[in-house]
Amino acid sequence: MNKIVLGLVVGGILGALDGLSALVSAPETQPQIVGIVIGSTIKGIVAGLLIGWFARKVRSVPAGVAFGFFIGLVLAFLVALMPDAEGKHYWWQIMLPGSIVGLIVGYATQRYGAVARA
Amino acid sequence: MSHITSRAIARLREAVEFPDLAGTQYDAVEAIGRGGMGTVFRVHDRELARDVALKVLSAREVSEDARARMLDEARILARLEHPGIVPVHDVGVLPDGRVFYTMKLVRGSRLDEYARATHEIADLLRVFVRACEAVAFAHSEGVVHRDMKPSNVMVGAFGEVLVLDWGVAKLLDRGTATETTTADAAAPSSSAPSTPPRRSADTATGAVLGTPGFMAPEQARGESAHVDPRSDVYALGAMLRQILQASRAGAMPRRLRAICDRATAVDPAARYPDVASLSRDVERFATGQAVTAYKEHWTERARRLASRHRIAVTLIAAYLLMRVLIFFLDRP
C-alpha cells in the first residue's frame, strides 16, 4: 500500500471513529450522528490525502508528524468554525482530537506504507 | 653449570618459528596469532607497500600432509570470494620449505572481545548475521567451516565482519555430505608449490577437528561423513549463545534463547536446515517479528507488537486518553 492510499485509509478510519466518539462524549448529538460521522470521515480522508502526499515527498518522521498535526488542526478549526443549532462552538472538543488524529496519520504514513518508485 | 630458563626457551622457539622470508617480497614485522597448524605474522609487502597477514606452517609441522592441508586452506579461501571472508593474496614456499600464504591484514577486535565490550544486543545480532552470510556463502560453494567460534570472527573498525581460520574447513560434494577433492578449487599463483589438490582436510573418520563447546555432536564424535552445513549451524548457535552471555546486554530474551536452542539441537534434523534459516530467524527477532523457533503465547505476541509499534501505540493511547479527558471535562 503506498503512502497516499495508507493516509486515505488511516485518515478515513480514524475520522469515522472520531465522529462516532461523539456518541460517548456528547450524547445529545445523537440525532445528527450520521452527518457528524460523514463529515468527520471526509475530514479524515482529506487530511490523510494531504499527509500521505507529504510523506511521499518528505522522508522525515518529525516533519511528517508536525505536518500531520498542522493539517489536522487546520481542518478541525474549519469544522469548529461551524456552530451548532444553538450557536455554540466546540473549539477544543473538535480541534484537539482532530490535531491528534492528524499527528497519528502523519506518523503512520512516515513509518509505514511503500515508498513510491522513481 | 648454567640452566636455560623457560623464558629463554620460549624466545628460542619464537626465533625458530619466525619465518625466513628471503627471496619473497615480504619483510616480517611481528607474530599476531598462533593456531594448531600455523602461525600468523604481520608482514610488510615491499612491492605494494602495504602490510598483509602471512600464515606459515609451524616449524614442527613439516609433514607432507601438513603442507597439503595448508595449501588446501589457501585454495579454499581463494575460492571463497565474499566481503565477509578474508581474501588470499598469494601462496608460496619459504626457503626452509614451509608453505605460506598471505591474506588481507584484518584490523579490529575478535568477536569474543567485541561482545564483552558491547551493551547492545542489536549490534551483536548485526555482526552475527553478517558472519552467517559469509558462512552461508561458503556452504553455497560446498565448504563447511567446522570451526566457527567467536575468536574466528573479526569485527573491523568500520563495522566490517570477517570470518577467519578456514584451516579445518571441509569441501563437500554439492548437495551431499560426501567429501570430495578440491580439484576445482582456485589454482595457486606461479610461485606456489605444485602439489596437486588433495582430498579435503584431515578427515578420516574418527579424526576430531574443531573446538569443544562449539563442535556439533556428530563432529565431536569424529563422524566426518555426517558433518555438513548443519554442523556449522550448531557452531553458530553455540557462538550466538556465548557472545550474548558474554555481552553486557543483560538477560537473554526467551525468543533468542529458543533460537540458540534450536540451532544447537543434538539431532541435526531438529536444527535449522541451513545457516540462512538461522540468520533469517535472528533478523526476525532483531526487527521485532515472530521467530520460527519459539511459539509465543498471545500475551507475549501482544507485548512484542506493542514494543515493535511503540510510538503508534503511544499515539493511539494519547488519543484515547484525550477522549476520556474531554468526556469528563465537558460534563455539565
State ipTM: 0.75
**B328 near A CB under 8 A:** no
* Closest chain B residue by Cα to residue A98: B319
Do the beta carbons of residue A104 and residue B319 sit within 8 Å?
A: yes
The pLDDT, as a whole number, for residue B298 is 93
Q: Which three cell numbers stand for residue B151?
A: 575468536
**Chain B closest CA to A97's CA: distance in Å?**
7
The pLDDT, as a whole number, for residue A75 is 92
Of B203, B188, B185, B167, nearest in space to B80 by CA: B185
B200 vs A56, higher pLDDT = A56
**Chain B closest CA to A23's CA: distance in Å?**
10
Nearest to A104 among B315, B327, B330 (CB): B315
Which residues from chain A sit within 8 angstroms of residue B315, using beta carbons? 100, 103-104, 107
* Closest chain A residue by Cα to residue B320: A97
Pairing of strands B153-156, B108-110: antiparallel
Average pLDDT over residues A85-108: 87
- Kindly report the number of other CB atoms within 10 A of residue B203's CB atom: 18
Residue A54 pLDDT greater than 80, yes or no = yes
Classify each residue of B101-125 as buried b or exposed e, where b means 16 or more C-beta atoms within 10 Å of its C-beta: bbbebeebbbbbebbeebeebebbb
SS (H, E, C) chain B: CCCCCHHHHHHHHHHHHCCCCCCCCEEEEEEEEECCCEEEEEEEECCCCEEEEEEEECCCCCCHHHHHHHHHHHHHHHHCCCCCECCEEEEEECCCCCEEEEECCCCEEEHHHHHHCCCCHHHHHHHHHHHHHHHHHHHHCCEECCCCCHHHEEEECCCCEEECCCCCCEEECCCCCCECECCCCCCCCCCCCCCCCCECCCCCCCCCCCCCCCCCHHHHCCCHHHCCHHHHHHHHHHHHHHHHHHCCCCCCCHHHHHHHHHHCCCCHHHCCCCHHHHHHHHHHHHCCCCCCCCCCCHHHHHHHHHHHCHHHHHHHHHHHHHHHHHHHHCCC
**B65 near A CB under 8 A:** no
SS (H, E, C) B264-320: CCCCHHHCCCCHHHHHHHHHHHHCCCCCCCCCCCHHHHHHHHHHHCHHHHHHHHHHH
The pLDDT, as a whole number, for residue A116 is 64
Of B302, B294, B247, B266, nearest in space to B126 by CA: B247
**What are residue B110's DSSP bridge partners?**
B154
Which residues from chain B sit within 8 angstroms of residue A107, using beta carbons? 311-312, 315
Q: Which three cell numbers stand for residue B146?
A: 567446522
SS (H, E, C) chain A: CEHHHHHHHHHHHHHHHHHHCHHHHCHHHHHHHHHHHHHHHHHHHHHHHHHHHHHHHCCCHHHHHHHHHHHHHHHHHHHHCCCCCCCCCCHHHHHHHHHHHHHHHHHHHHHCCECCCC
Of B82, B245, B275, B93, nearest in space to B166 by CA: B82
The pLDDT, as a whole number, for residue B14 is 66
Cα separation of B195 and B200, whole Å?
A: 13
Cα separation of A84 and A88, whole Å?
A: 5
Query: First and final CA of chain A: distance in angstroms?
Result: 16
**Chain A closest CA to B326's CA: distance in Å?**
7
The pLDDT, as a whole number, for residue B5 is 74
Q: Residue A79, exposed/middle/buried by CB under 10 A (0-12, 13-18, 19+)?
A: middle
What averages of pLDDT result for each successive group of 10 residues across chain B (332 residues)? 67 69 86 79 92 86 80 87 92 86 90 89 94 96 92 90 87 54 33 43 51 89 86 96 86 91 95 96 93 91 88 85 80 66
Q: Which of B287, B309, B315, B320 to mutate to test the interface with A (most CBs of A within 10 A)?
A: B315
Phi, psi of B223 (to 5 degrees): -85, 75
